[in-house]
Structure 1
Amino acid sequence: MITKIGQEGNVLGYEVAGKLTEQEYHDLYRELRAVIAEYGSVSVLGRLPDDSLPGMGLSAIDDRLRFAREHLTDIDRAAVVGGNRVAEWVTRASDTMTPIELRHFHAGAEQQAWDWLRRARPV
């Protein structure tokens, strides 16, 4: 399930838990595209409320890769808050492979994550 938890200009936050559906990804990408169209870029916070990584079907993985290819330079920063050591490792590994600044924050540091995202680019 993807639940929007906040937005300030081009900085959006979502809580992501459980298995995600293709429709949830579709709705998320539509919202992110609208913010990119309005502001020129977007920064995203993803809160993981438990110790697992969200699951997704194969079609959702394909949609995720397509969105990333299309908007790689439109995403300034992404913060992952919470999750387990695997989430932290995946975030760090992804940071080295994309032009997007990615950072993992422990669950108690969510406010720091929001502050870091807001400093990405003035809106």
Structure 2
Amino acid sequence: MIQIEHSQSGDIITLRASGTLTKADYDAALPEIENAMTLAKGPLHMLIRLEDFHGWEIDALWKDLTFDLKHRGEFGSIAVVGDTKLEEWGVWLSSFFAKSEVRYFSFEAEDDARSWLEKT
């Protein structure tokens, strides 16, 4: 499941990803993310919170990758908050392919993640 929360400034959104993500999750979330990109005063920053995250179904992964490629370079900074070494490693690896600055934070450092996004 993907849940989206919008900040009051409109320049930061929080994506809460939990369980195994499906194509239906992306079909519901992507138009809202694109709308937030349009409404943002500058590049849209994202905080992605991985809560009991189990990955993607293959169709969902494909939808995620094509969305990322379509909008490569259009996002501001991206903070990923999680709780496993595998998630941290995945963020590190994906940072090589992103034009945006991507950083990983533990759940205990979520306030630091939000502060970092507000400063970028």
Report if TM-score (shorter chain) is over 0.5.
Answer: yes
Structure 2 residue aligned with 1:103: 103
- TM-score w.r.t. the length of structure 1 is 0.85
Structure 1: 5+ residue stretches without partners: none
Say whether residues 1:4 and 2:39 are aligned partners. Answer: no
Structure 2 residue aligned with 1:18: 19
Looking at structure 1, the residues matched to 13 and 54 of structure 2 have their Cα atoms a distance apart, in angstroms, of: 18
Looking at structure 1, the residues matched to 94 and 56 of structure 2 have their Cα atoms a distance apart, in angstroms, of: 18
The C-alpha deviation readout for 1:73-104, integer Å capped at 9, x for no partner, is: 11111111123001101111211222111100
- Displacement, 1:64? 0.8
Contact 2:79 2:105 in 1 (8 A): yes
Structure 2: 5+ residue stretches without partners: none
Looking at structure 2, the residues matched to 35 and 13 of structure 1 have their Cα atoms a distance apart, in angstroms, of: 11
* Number of residue equivalences: 118
- TM-score w.r.t. the length of structure 2 is 0.87
Structure 1 residue aligned with 2:44: 42
Contact 1:77 1:100 in 2 (8 A): yes
- Displacement, 1:60? 1.0
> What's the Cα RMSD here?
1.6
Structure 2 residue aligned with 1:83: 83
- Displacement, 1:6? 4.5
- Displacement, 1:5? 4.3
Return the structure number with greater strand share.
2
Q: Cα gap change, 1:35/1:5 in structure 2, threshold over 3 Å: closer, same or farther?
A: closer
Matched ranges for 1:44-63 at <5 A: 44-50=46-52, 53-63=53-63
Amino acid at match of 1:103: R
